[in-house]
Amino acid sequence: MTAPSPSGAAALLPALKFDRDGLVAAVAQQHDTGEILMLAWMNREAVEQTLATGEVTYYSRSRRKLWRKGETSGQRQRLVELRVDCDGDTLLLLVDQRGAACHTGTRSCFFRAVRDGALARIAEPIVDPKTLYGAEA
């Protein structure tokens, strides 16, 4: 359990290779079950805030701003450990996810699979998405 770790950013940032948009990919995995929850993006500031606070913060490419996971929906991600890949352009976030990671209300965003030649739904919502974002849903 290393988070929050403000000093971790100083160690990590030189190892990162941000893309032409200033972003690295970040895969969130539930730390104890191994379930993959989602993939999102981080800029330098999102990495710093995540390590400083222990609350996972992404960069929203559509809204073009920082987005602390769960700030609207309440479905927060607490950082347990941050890992980085060999070429420094992808992060693996071991997290403790409260509730549903997906905006559709499923635990994981990966709720569809190719099975028997079709695209099958393999998980149902655990939270009503209407309750996550109020009138926006």
Q: Which residues bind a copy of itself (CB under 8 A)?
A: 2, 5, 7-8, 10-12, 15, 25, 27, 29, 33-36, 38-39, 51, 81-87, 90, 92, 102-104, 106, 109-119, 122
| Nearer to a copy of itself (CB atom), residue 118 or residue 135 | 118
Q: How far apart are CA 97 and CA 6, in angstroms?
A: 21
Torsion of CA 72, 12, 96, 133, to 10 degrees: 10
| Nearer to a copy of itself (CB atom), residue 7 or residue 131 | 7
Q: How far apart are CA 34 and CA 38, in angstroms?
A: 12
| Nearer to a copy of itself (CB atom), residue 1 or residue 71 | 1
Please report, as a single letter, which amino acid is at residue 122: I
Shortest distance, CB of residue 27 to a copy of itself, whole angstroms? Answer: 5
Shortest distance, CB of residue 43 to a copy of itself, whole angstroms? Answer: 17
Count of beta carbons in the 10 Å neighbourhood of residue 28: 25
